[in-house]
């Protein structure tokens, strides 16, 4: 196969970056917002970091949007905080919450930046949790529907790209980490009930968006980690397929086909799991036809047939924190392993730009739906140097190679309409606070010291700006 040196990005391609309310906003008790469960986690659960200030985007949004404009952004993906918009169980809409998001959206639109808005990104309001036990009770379905409708009513005139629930698959797989399982001892079975309720919520959002937003488009946001078989041993192919099904394909198939796959149905039967589907649910879900898929893709994994004698290896991670990272091994299902052909980040995430092209090709072959990249990014320890600057060549290399592989996927015939890596400014990582920075723009604070929260453009900001302004032709070096 022979390619031109530069893959061509379509005109109007959406170049931007991504964030989530609880990780960037701060202002957790400002403007009538009430607490979310993730606030409580961030204040009590280590290594989460307190999100009450985060990057203080709540007070710096104008400056942040001005920087996006300077960089040349044509899109920005962010999430809405449910408890900022509806702070209590009385369902009263908070005018100050609406005002904040109206201001942000207006600022973006005035800067020529297309908003891409996630309805839910891990920040369950405490009042919803108290009333319904989080995602455990079907009562949340109507509550979520109501919340989505409020969002569509207030912002749907300017926001045309909507995302339903961020990384539902990861919330189910890492239920404890992301606060969904509530420490349940019976999560193995309950997760499928919770997942069904989340699917109903996703479907409500899709149906309401199409009903209420003129020309509105909506899609899910799977956390996509493609799985490569470790060897060509036949059993490893099945292990890798199982890993793919149980970590992502079950979800993606559901979003696309709006029915549960035969794989998951037989998995439930085999494991005597009742997901508690009620009459009428499946008929309703059939109406929820998605318009695109938003893809979060940072890395790949290696799958294999599990080894019954396997012992967890401890202390594998590059940053040397013992016991921080272990590969799962599920007897009879699958195991994951380190890929010796790629580098890893300080947190042992595989750095694999080719996985971007691979994922887009793979998903396109399965679903033939347009896709937008809503996350990919390089998390690193960083601080200003003696000249007050931040040089982040590893991030530049990561973003260059990942974006280039998006271009190659487009050249392969895949429909992709945007690239929005994680993140614009530094923000709190889910589990590592400011210690794990992702931004193109440095936020001058650490986990323990709020300093002055100043924004400082990193070297990657300037590099990305040139790439955007050339619509993906100025890579800053020769690409092969």
Catalytic site residues? Answer: 167, 375
Stretch binding ligand BG6 (CB under 6 A), from 7-15, 42-50, 263-271, 430-438? 430-438
| Least gap, CB of 7 to ligand BG6 (angstroms) | 26
For the bound state, the minimum distance from the C-beta of residue 160 to ligand BG6, rounded and expressed in Å, comes to: 22
The answer to whether residue 350 forms part of the interface with ligand BG6 (CB under 6 A) is no
At closest approach, how far in Å is the CB of 24 from ligand BG6? 10
Quick note: the x/- pattern for ligand BG6 over 220-239, rule CB under 6 A, is ---x----------------
Q: Judged by CB under 6 A, does residue 465 bind ligand BG6?
A: no
- Position among 74, 300, 430, 460 found at the interface with ligand BG6 (CB under 6 A): 430
Q: According to the binding rule CB under 6 A, does residue 20 interact with ligand BG6?
A: yes
Per rule CB under 6 A, is residue 317 in the interface with ligand BG6? Answer: no
Q: Find the part of the chain contacting ligand BG6 (CB under 6 A) among 127-135, 163-171, 266-274, 314-322.
A: 163-171
Q: Report in angstroms how near the CB of residue 79 gets to ligand BG6 at its nearest.
A: 9
Chain positions 56 to 75 lying near ligand BG6, rule: CB under 6 A, are none
Q: Of 62-70, 166-174, 269-277, 394-402, which segment contacts ligand BG6 by CB under 6 A? A: 166-174
Three-state SS string over the chain comes to CCCCCCCCCCCCCEEEEECCHHHHCCCCCCCCCCCEHHHHHHHHCCCCCCCCCCCCHHHHHHHHHHHHHHHCCCEEEEECCHHHHCCCCCCCCCHHHHHHHHHHHHHHHHCCCEEEEEEECCCCEHHHHHHHCHHHCCHHHHHHHHHHHHHHHHHCCCCCEEEEEECHHHHHHCCCCCCCCCCCCCHHHHHHHHHHHHHHHHHHHHHHHHHHCCCCEEEEECECCCEEECCCCHHHHHHHHHHHHHHHHHHHHHHHHCCCCHHHHHHHHHCCCCCCCCCCHHHHHHCCCCCCEEEECCCCEEEECCCCCCCCCCCCCCCCCCCCCCCCEECCCEEEECCCCCEECCCCCEECCHHHHHHHHHHHHHHCCCEEEEECCCCECCCCCCCCCCCCHHHHHHHHHHHHHHHHHHHCCCCEEEECCECCECCCECCCECCCECCCEEECCCCCCCCCCCEEECHHHHHHHHHHHCCCCCCCCCCC
Quick one: 339 or 429, whose CB is closer to ligand BG6? 429
Among 35, 431, 439, 472, binds ligand BG6 (CB under 6 A): 431
Footprint on this chain of ligand BG6 (rule: CB under 6 A)? 20, 23, 166-167, 170, 223, 296, 375, 379, 422, 429-431, 436
């Amino acid at each position: 196969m022979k390619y031109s040196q530069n893959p061509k990005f379509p005109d109007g391609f959406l170049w931007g970056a991504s964030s989530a309310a609880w990780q960037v906003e701060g202002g957790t008790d400002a403007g009538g917002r009430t607490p979310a469960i993730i606030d409580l986690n961030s204040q009590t659960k280590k290594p989460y970091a307190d999100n009450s200030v985060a990057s203080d985007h709540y007070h710096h949004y104008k400056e942040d949007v001005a920087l996006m404009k300077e960089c040349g952004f044509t899109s920005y993906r962010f999430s809405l905080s449910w408890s900022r918009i509806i702070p209590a169980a009385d369902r009263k809409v908070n005018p100050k919450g609406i005002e904040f998001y109206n201001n942000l959206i207006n600022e973006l639109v005035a800067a020529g930046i297309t908003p891409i808005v996630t309805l839910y990104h891990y920040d369950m309001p405490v009042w919803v949790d108290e009333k319904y036990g989080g995602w455990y009770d079907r009562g949340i379905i109507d509550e979520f529907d109501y919340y989505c409708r409020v969002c569509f009513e207030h912002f749907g005139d300017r926001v045309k790209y909507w995302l339903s629930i961020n990384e539902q698959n990861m919330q189910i797989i890492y239920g404890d980490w992301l606060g969904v399982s509530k420490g349940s001892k019976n999560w193995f079975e309950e997760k499928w009930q919770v997942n069904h309720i989340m699917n109903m919520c996703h479907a409500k959002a899709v149906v309401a968006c199409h009903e209420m937003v003129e020309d509105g488009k909506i899609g899910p946001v799977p956390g996509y980690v493609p799985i490569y078989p470790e060897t060509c041993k036949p059993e490893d192919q099945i292990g890798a397929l199982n890993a793919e099904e149980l970590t992502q394909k079950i979800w993606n198939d559901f979003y696309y086909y709006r029915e549960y796959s035969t794989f998951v149905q037989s998995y439930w039967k085999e494991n005597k799991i009742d997901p508690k589907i009620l009459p009428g649910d499946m008929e309703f879900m059939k109406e929820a036809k998605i318009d695109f898929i938003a893809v979060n893709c940072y890395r790949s994994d290696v799958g294999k047939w599990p080894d019954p004698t396997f012992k967890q290896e401890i202390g594998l991670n590059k940053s040397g924190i013992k016991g921080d990272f272990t590969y799962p091994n599920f007897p009879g299902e699958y195991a994951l392993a380190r890929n010796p052909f790629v580098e890893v980040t300080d947190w042992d995430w595989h750095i694999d730009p080719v996985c971007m092209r691979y994922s887009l090709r793979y998903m396109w072959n399965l679903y033939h739906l347009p896709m937008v990249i809503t996350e990919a990014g390089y998390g690193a320890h960083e601080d200003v140097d003696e000249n007050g600057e931040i040089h982040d060549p590893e991030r530049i290399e990561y973003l260059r190679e990942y974006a280039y592989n998006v271009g190659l996927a487009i050249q392969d015939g895949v429909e992709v309409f945007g690239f929005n890596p994680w993140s614009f400014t530094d923000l709190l990582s889910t589990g590592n606070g400011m210690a794990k920075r992702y931004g193109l723009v440095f936020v001058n604070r650490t986990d323990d010291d709020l300093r002055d929260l100043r924004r400082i453009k990193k070297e990657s900001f300037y590099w990305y700006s040139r790439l955007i302004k050339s619509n993906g032709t100025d890579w800053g070096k020769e690409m092969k």
